[in-house]
Amino acid sequence: MKKILHYLTIFMLLVTIALPIKIVNAEETVDQTKSSTYAIKSISFKKQHINMPDSNVAYVTINSNVSNLKKLHIDYGNRINADKSPYTAECTLTKTKLVYECPISIPKFEESGTWKIYGIVINTNDDQQLYYYYTDDPTMLKWPTFSVTNSNEDYEPPVLHSFEVLGDVLQPGVDFQVAVNAEDRISKIKDIIVIFHNIRTDERVFLRDFKNTGNNIWIATANLPKSADIGDWQVDLVNLRDNAGNAFVRFYSPTGYQEQTTTSQNVVTTNTVKTNNIESFKVLANSKVLATTRSSVKMQSFSNRTIEIFNGKKLLKKVQTKSNGIGNVTFKKQAKNTSLKAIVKMKSGKVTETVKFKLPKM
């Protein structure tokens, strides 16, 4: 037995190096001509059928020759592929010698159907692992199944209605917001990711922490890095995921976007839309004066800012910029060549800039 475990350990090390997931068939590591060397004697379930939210229990009986067993766990599920991993349950020794019980719980929105154990892993006291997989020779071990009925099963992907950047002109080092209008009918939205990129440099900004503000509106606040590249930015990707594992993703390009949905049943659909209406914003380094008269000033600033115009300590006028950051301020006619200053504030009242300028001589 020790010799077998020794070769098993060497084989597993090689598999670990070659593959990201360690899966070894018992038929590759155990001499199946001698059933007594096979560590697992039998597998059974407490219930052959469960109605959610009920749970189940698996019983694993080991052979008496496994004397140095440290712990045992099972991997179970209803599907396993590149996009879905099995669930894991730690097993405990029962009062019956050599029999382990493994609690099986089904996530709330998992689908109905046939469930089974995909693998059993034994850890030994000498830090070795024995892997047994459901594709092993059935003459060595029967791998039973049980059925699940779940009225809450969800394999509908989330739906994206719209999204927008709350402001068309942004400032490096300052917070900005993105609002997403999206919903999921059954299991509800779990998380949202939005990515923007600079069209010239391809620098990217990720938004992840979206909060539900009601009526299917999700808002995230993020800080645009002080080092963010100046210029035009465009949305790169919008990704929605629900609590059942269904997903919706929209990939953007200069000519439109492609939508892809993936269900928990691994059904993938795609849709391509050509449009030039791609959500975007502009990043400016600072506010600047565009034009002046002796009674007005036009400024390019940032979205949703307050611009206050002062002559010395006297406030002449203040305005709120539009989404495009433009502020047109008119005030009482001032003397020629008067020096004024514009104080730019955020909604919170925090001053972000002071811009000094002179009125024309005419």
Query: Class for domain 286-358, per CATH?
Result: mainly beta
How high is the pLDDT of residue 14?
Answer: 36
User: Each residue of 60-95: pLDDT tens digit?
Assistant: 999 887 878 999 999 999 877 656 788 999 999 999
* Residues 288, 163: Cα–Cα separation, whole Å: 29
Tokens of 7: 């070769």
Computed over its alpha carbons, how large is the radius of gyration of the chain? 32
To the question of pTM greater than 0.75 for the whole model, the response is no
Q: Identify the CA nearest to 289 among candidates 327, 345, 346.
A: 327
pLDDT category of residue 267 using cuts at 50, 70 and 90:
confident
Buried b / exposed e along 106-124 (16+ C-beta atoms within 10 A): bbebbbbeebbbbbbbbeb
CATH class of residue range 2-149: mainly beta
Contacts of 255 (CB under 8 A, 6+ apart): 274, 275, 276
Q: Which pair of structure tokens corresponds to residue 322? A: 């539009």
Residues 6+ apart with CB under 8 A from 202: none
- What is the rounded CA–CA span in Å between residue 348 and residue 41? 69
How does pLDDT run across 189-213, given as a tens digit for each residue?
A: 999 999 999 999 989 999 999 999 9
pLDDT value at 17 more than 80: no
Mean per-residue pLDDT, 273-278: 84
Mean pLDDT for 114-132 is 92
Note whether 159-282 and 286-358 share their fold: yes
CATH number of 159-282: 2.60.40
For the chain, the domains span 2-149, 159-282, 286-358
